[in-house]
Amino acid sequence: MKRSKQQQSFHLRSRIKAVLSLGLCLLLLALPLACQSSPETQNSDPVINPSENLIPTIVAGSETPSASLRLRYLDEGNLNPLRKHSYVNRSVFSLVYDSLFAFNAAGSLQAQLVESAQVSNDMLTWTLNLKDVNFHSGENLTAADVEASLRLWLEVNLEHSLEEWEDEEQTPPNGDETDPDAEPDTDPDTETDDPDGTEPDDLEPGSEETIDEPDSTENDQDVDDEIEETSEPTTDSADATYDYYIDTPVLGEPAQVESFSATYKVSLERGRLIKAIDSSDSSTIKIRLHEAAPILDLLTFPIIPAEYTESNSYEIIPGSGSYRIVERDTQGNLHLTAWQQDEAKAKEIIAVNCADVMEALALFENDELDVLLMDRTEASRLQGRSRVRSQGYEDSGFVSLYVPNSNLRAQLETVFPTNSPESISAPFQYSPYYIRPGDVRLLEQSEIVNENDGTSSSSEDDASNNQSGSESNDDAGTEVDLPVYRILLPRVFYPYGLQNQLTSLIAQIGGEIEYKLVRAEDYEEELKEQDYDLALLLDQSAAFGDPFDYALGLLEYELVGNLSVSATQRTILTEGRMKQALMLEEGQGLEARYLQAVHDLFSELPVIGLCTTSTLLWYRDGVEGVLAGTAELPYFGI
């Protein structure tokens, strides 16, 4: 019996040794396999249905930096940067040509070709001392080049000609650079805003100018009486093929915002205040004005040699920027080379001729473009695309909703998504005022604390009564014909979330909405006719963008009768506009109540602010650098 147990113990130990030996053999066999590299992991990105996107998903490009860059460009018939060109082309030209001044990302005016700027005590004569700069041709920049460029810019944009310079008895210019504390003797907008001749400074402190709105905005009849039987919007036969929300032609048709933006016209019209120019001193340019006004912020156009200003062909014009144009090939592409060698810069840039943005998108997808720049209208459709490296630049655009009927405006404000306003401004940044992010005038501004009187207005009471009335009708099961609200939209642009959100807002106040989409060239006329209940206003500025210019634009188009602001508020706004057009140091001479004055101004206007706009830049993995540019200089730092 004892022997049998010993035999069993021996057999058990043998089995354990066999198992351990087998495990050791398997371990030795697995070690070589473990040393090998693991197979590539599969892409874990979600599968995107192409039918849900305007374009296919972009595939990332090479990670190896390239010595050359391929940018988007459009052949527009000439290479003169002072002629009218699209935003995409102006951005390419910004690599080649410098201007007198430019705005930085902080909203401060910076000198480019100007060494210093001085203004006379009466604010009527500017003296600009030029830097010692050479064009790519080797010729030195002179005041005659600046004068010729300025004259052509005024002719192309305003059809404005200058008077001959005459020496007058002038107060000597201030010794320092632009004096932000100097106040103009006259305000060019006072006469237009006060037809009765009353100057703002003559008003009692705290008094206000009354709003005398057009007759069309004073109709307080019921909405049912205001709206006649409506039909489908009148459009050309070719337009019938478009679904204006899903298949808007914004991706192929130029926006032409400047053709109907009232703010653009107001800001650009300041150029007519330039009276004469003196370039007798080759290193100094003098500009005389008819009356004191902000003017330096308009001097952001390219400067070219005087002998090329009349060019309207493909003649290559030398500039003074970081790159120079060396060739235009048979496909219409522009070839640029670095003017000053820098290891951090691309040695060559090819501006690829693209017929439209759809062709540019295809080239970018196929790795034939390194950088794809899009204006605000294209950005409104293509922002937020996945798997694309991108950078947005806030520009001088502003989107607002004009609501001439005060009752309707009050109703909309009660249901406006105050907790998540981005839902109605998407894809752009929500903004209740025409304030560009980074505006230097907003430095050290406190939060808005002084709202208007919180008493419930009669219009708000009407809004609540209308809502409660509609609810009671619904409870009673009575069928009610909902009022139809007509909204005017520019055919080429509106943020992609706006249409659905407006439909929802109108439904919340018990109504239905009818859209009337109009071509850009007809939009100004349609706005002035006021045959609508709401209208989308898309504005831009010839300069940096100013809330008071926006308000004056409403006056220009007779969308408001007058501006209900106190004399103090008006002074803050006009001085703020003047100082924004000066080369200020940080915080220098800024009014601490500026933002409050802007808030008070917009609270009295018949508009609902929606958003500021931005341009969009896509770039591939091979593009390196810090994207520290602006909408006007998008390629800076690449």
Q: What string of DSSP letters covers 69-109?
A: EEEEE---S---TTS---HHHHHHHTTT--BSEEE-TTS-E
Pairing of strands 389-402, 534-539: antiparallel
Distance CA 161, CA 114 (A): 23
Ranges of the chain whose pLDDT falls below 70: 1-15, 19, 25, 27-66, 168-255, 342-344, 384-386, 446-449, 451-480, 496, 584-589, 624-626
Integer Cα distance of 380 and 429 in angstroms? 11
| Tokens describing residue 44 | 């874990």
Within 13 A of 621's CA, how many CA atoms are on the CB side? Answer: 9
Structure tokens at 117: 């700027």
Instruction: With CA atoms as reference, report the closest residue to 128 among 294, 289, 287.
Output: 287
Query: Could you tell me the sign of the dihedral formed by the alpha carbons of 375, 378, 381, 387, in that order?
Result: negative
Question: CB-hemisphere CA count at 13 Å for 67?
Answer: 6
Domain spans in the chain, listed from the N-terminal domain onward = 396-445+482-614
Q: Where are the beta strands (DSSP E) in 365-452?
A: 371-374, 389-402
Instruction: Tell me if the pTM is above 0.85.
Output: no
> pLDDT over 90 for what percent of the chain?
49
What pLDDT shows up at residue 470? 47
Q: Write the CA distances from 215 to 192, 218, 608, integer angstroms.
A: 19, 5, 20
Q: What is the pLDDT of residue 206?
A: 42
Q: How far is CA 233 from the centre of its chain?
A: 29
Instruction: Give the side-chain half-sphere CA count within 13 A for 578.
Output: 26
Given this model, what pLDDT does residue 466 score? 47
Euclidean distance between CA atoms 557 and 568, whole angstroms: 25
Domain 396-445+482-614, architecture per CATH:
Roll (3.10)
DSSP code at position 120:
B
